[in-house]
Amino acid sequence: MDTGERIQELADRIVVLRDAYYRGSPEVADADYDAVEDELRALIEANPELAPDPNPLEQVGAPAVLHAPIRHSRPMLSLEKATRPEQVEAFFARFPGQSVVVMPKLDGLSLALVYEDGRLARAITRGDGTTGDDVTPLVRALADGVPERLDVPGRIEVRGEAVMLRSTFAAYNAAHQDKPLINPRNAAAGTLRAKDPATVAERRLQFLAFDLLSDADDTDADLDRALQTLGFTVAEMRHCDDAAAAQAVITTIEQQRNDLDYDLDGAVLRLADRDAFAAAGTRSSSPRGALAFKFAAEEKTTILADVVWDVGKTGKIAPVAWLEPVFVGGTTVTRATLANQEVIRARGIKIGDTVLVRRAGDVIPFVAGVLDAAKRTGAERDIVPPSVCPSCEQPLTEQGNSRELFCTNVACPAQTVRRLIHWASRAAADIDAIGGVWIERLAEAGILEHPSDFYHLTKEGLLEFDRIGEVSATRMIDSIDASRQVGLRRALIGLAIPMASEGTATRMCRAGFGSLEEVADAGVDGLVAVEDIGPKVAASLIEHLARLRPELERLRAAGVSLDVREEDLPPVVAAGAPLAGKTVVVTGSISDPRSGEKVPRPAFQRLCEKAGATIASSVSATTDLLITGADVGAAKLTKAEKLGVTVIDQSEIWQQLQQADLLNR
């Protein structure tokens, strides 16, 4: 094939892929689509005379009109893309002396809101950039952050991104396991393509503004201030005066990517001054005054090579996808979780399919769904759940709506190993010198079966294993010795009792139980009296602690403490504590102003507790304070505002903690 033919082929492919994508059923992952664009761009650059006509790279979106076509006042364009720091420098060099705002590049779909004399007149999708779709009723019914009225005369247009918040997406999928949404972006697109608001009533969207077209002279020239003054929610915009500052913000946004409540696929740089932005003008398909810095993809497609069924510490048999290796979310992924039978059925996944794999941050990679099921060859195979345990070959039981499979044989070898590994994990006894591989080997050798067996290991015994030397044997024994101080909370976590979470263990300690034996003896009434402990959790605790009674005795005999420890209890509140009696919610990313370092949220919450606060996980009518860190999800703020909860910046709390002398202990 010659270059001209290749160019035409790529151009045609782009048209097909865009069409599918903007109809809401993409055939490939964005990263794969971008690769096609990149190849075409490179070929045209090298051979400008062979540029196709029309050139899809000079066009925007697709003419996806479902409701009523509306012409945009000014075209809604795409953005010039960058992936390297030099491109950021070149952008600043083009606009000497200008301040630039750097903000997240939100992964939803763009929307133009037209206000006439202070009233929301129309909400229009981008469409092909020139003509969009009138989605006003849907936006009115479903989008937060779209004020019905503005206090400004004349015509103004606010542009921004309609996203489905990750929290909304997760809640929706939890409630609709039979018909899950594939990712927040598709979900947002699908929502705005609905024919009638009632069919998508549970799919709330959030509008985040990033552009303002106004002819009025008295509107603030600074984009950020202008939008906020009008009352719009804006993803944080940071002003930068040079490329180095912008690069630092881009890096921060990328690092915080997974702490935010919305998907983003990059950072957008844009002239902060609205007049300067307008004066910079446009190219065929993008404004000159903006640049999109793209991050590594968190979703890719690959082939599902096989599915194996893995036995967990509570006996749950979970399907694990074996994938053709794919680079996604910064690492090469070969395994991913498939959740359970129901998810497999609902997503229609078969072995041999091209699947969409998602890996964001610390989240375990998972198979989000099948793309392009129409292109199946017929060689794909159904995923068949096992009828007996892959480890002990005992029959399995099915539980719950999602039809999770369980092996209930407590002597199951795979479960035994998983439970031992769990006992040794950081959240439990924290025996960090013995890794999972050695635990498995020791279990296979018949030396480890119960957690208490760790405490009978001897250096001499360990030295008999080929690859354990003097040094590692000593480290292993020291680490086991230290773990004898595990205490009630972490021991309860370490026993891996079904339905008992880390929160359950914390609540038991705070409810006044002094030891694991006291929990075991409490009976249903004693347990359900504990806040947030329901009858199911109580029943599971009673059943399993009764079964584990001999093991508790063995642990005690080996000198392991199962009594409540100081660290298990709420901190002692100092007299005159600044947050005494207040129920607080902490949101956003927290950092210590003295060092500038990020502080894990639980650590900050513990500080607040020392200052007398009661911590709650979500804002409600009983919340007194919402403490905000950086990059706070708009939804939380809106909710706090509606409920009249006081919102207070973390800096103020740090100051109070400092003044109460709570920081240096």
- Least separation in angstroms between residue 176's CB and ligand NAD is 23
240 is known to lie in a ligand binding site: no
407 binds, among ligand NAD, Zn ion, none (CB under 5 to 8 A by kind): Zn ion
Distance CA 321, CA 344 (A): 11
User: For residue 123, how many C-alpha atoms fall within 13 Å in the half-sphere facing its CB?
Assistant: 24
**Dihedral angle sign, alpha carbons of residues 95, 101, 104, 107:** negative
Which residue's beta carbon is nearest to the bound ligand NAD? Answer: 110
**Nearest of 233, 235, 226 to residue 156 by alpha carbon:** 226
- Window 481 to 520, contacts with ligand NAD (CB under 6 A): none
CB under 8 Å to 420, separation ≥6 — which residues?
Answer: 439, 443, 448, 449, 451, 454
Count of CB atoms situated within 10 Å of the CB of 325: 10
DSSP state of 149: B
For the chain, what is the radius of gyration of the CA atoms? 29
Q: What is the DSSP string of 80-130?
A: -EE-SHHHHHHHHHHSTT--EEEEEEESSEEEEEEEETTEEEEEEE-TTSS
Residue 349: strand, helix, or coil: coil
Query: Could you tell me if 639 and 585 are in contact, meaning their C-beta atoms sit under 8 angstroms apart?
Result: no
Q: Does 106 bind ligand NAD (CB under 6 A)?
A: yes
Give the one residue of 100, 102, 103, 645 binding ligand NAD; rule: CB under 6 A.
103
Q: Does 380 bind ligand NAD (CB under 6 A)?
A: no
Q: Does 317 bind Zn ion (CB under 5 A)?
A: no
Give the one residue of 10, 11, 13, 26 binding ligand NAD; rule: CB under 6 A.
26
Residue nearer to ligand NAD on the CB measure, 80 or 259: 80
List beta partners, residue 269.
102, 291
Q: Does 634 bind ligand NAD (CB under 6 A)?
A: no
Give the one residue of 40, 43, 44, 61 binding ligand NAD; rule: CB under 6 A.
61
Query: What does the per-residue mask of binding to ligand NAD show for 222-261, with x meaning CB under 6 A?
Result: ----------------------------------------
Interface with ligand NAD (CB under 6 A), residue total: 24
Length of the chain: 665
142 is known to lie in a ligand binding site: no
Stretch that binds Zn ion, among 409-417, 423-431, 467-475, 650-658 (CB under 5 A): 409-417
Q: Does 623 bind Zn ion (CB under 5 A)?
A: no
DSSP state of 630: B
Residue nearer to ligand NAD on the CB measure, 94 or 547: 94
Distance CA 404, CA 397 (A): 8
- Least separation in angstroms between residue 434's CB and Zn ion is 23
389 binds, among ligand NAD, Zn ion, none (CB under 5 to 8 A by kind): Zn ion
Give the one residue of 7, 44, 57, 78 binding ligand NAD; rule: CB under 6 A.
78
188 binds, among Zn ion, ligand NAD, none (CB under 5 to 8 A by kind): none
Using CB atoms within 10 Å of the CB of residue 517, give its burial: 0 to 12 exposed, 13 to 18 middle, 19+ buried: middle
Q: What b/e string do you get for 258-288 counting C-beta neighbours within 10 Å, with b at 16 or more?
A: ebbbbbbbbbbbbbbbbebbeebeeeebbbb
Q: Does 210 bind ligand NAD (CB under 6 A)?
A: yes
Question: To which residue do tokens 């981008």 refer?
Answer: 126
Stretch that binds ligand NAD, among 16-24, 191-199, 451-459, 602-610 (CB under 6 A): 16-24
26 binds, among ligand NAD, Zn ion, none (CB under 5 to 8 A by kind): ligand NAD
- Least separation in angstroms between residue 524's CB and Zn ion is 29
126 is known to lie in a ligand binding site: yes
Give the one residue of 57, 120, 268, 500 binding ligand NAD; rule: CB under 6 A.
268
- Least separation in angstroms between residue 365's CB and ligand NAD is 19
- Phi then psi for residue 240, to 5 deg, are -135, 140
Q: What separation in angstroms does the CA of 174 have from each of 112, 142, 171, 618?
A: 31, 19, 5, 18
**Does a cis peptide bond (omega within 30 degrees of 0) precede residue 54?**
yes
Q: What are the helix (H) ranges across 465-548?
A: 470-482, 487-494, 502-510, 516-521, 523-528, 535-547
375 is known as an active-site residue: no
407 is known to lie in a ligand binding site: no
171 is known to lie in a ligand binding site: no
Q: What is the DSSP string of 253-317?
A: HHHHTTTSSS-EEEEEEEESBHHHHHHH-B-SSSBTTEEEEEPPPSEEEEEEEEEEEEE-TTSEE
Both tokens of 324, joined, read 């053709």
412 binds, among ligand NAD, Zn ion, none (CB under 5 to 8 A by kind): Zn ion
Query: Of residues 81, 105, 598, 639, which has the active-site annotation?
Result: 105
Give the one residue of 10, 11, 13, 30 binding ligand NAD; rule: CB under 6 A.
30
- Least separation in angstroms between residue 408's CB and Zn ion is 8
Query: Could you tell me if 261 and 633 are in contact, meaning their C-beta atoms sit under 8 angstroms apart?
Result: yes
Residue nearer to ligand NAD on the CB measure, 132 or 494: 132
- Window 337 to 396, contacts with Zn ion (CB under 5 A): 389, 391-392
Query: Could you tell me if 234 and 208 are in contact, meaning their C-beta atoms sit under 8 angstroms apart?
Result: yes
391 binds, among ligand NAD, Zn ion, none (CB under 5 to 8 A by kind): Zn ion
- Least separation in angstroms between residue 253's CB and ligand NAD is 11
Residue nearer to ligand NAD on the CB measure, 367 or 516: 367
* Binding region for ligand NAD (CB under 6 A): 17-18, 21, 26-30, 33-34, 60-61, 78-79, 103, 105-106, 110, 126, 161, 210, 265, 268, 292
Which residues belong to the annotated binding site for Zn(2+)?
389, 392, 412
Catalytic positions, written as ranges: 105
* Binding region for Zn ion (CB under 5 A): 389, 391-392, 407, 409, 412
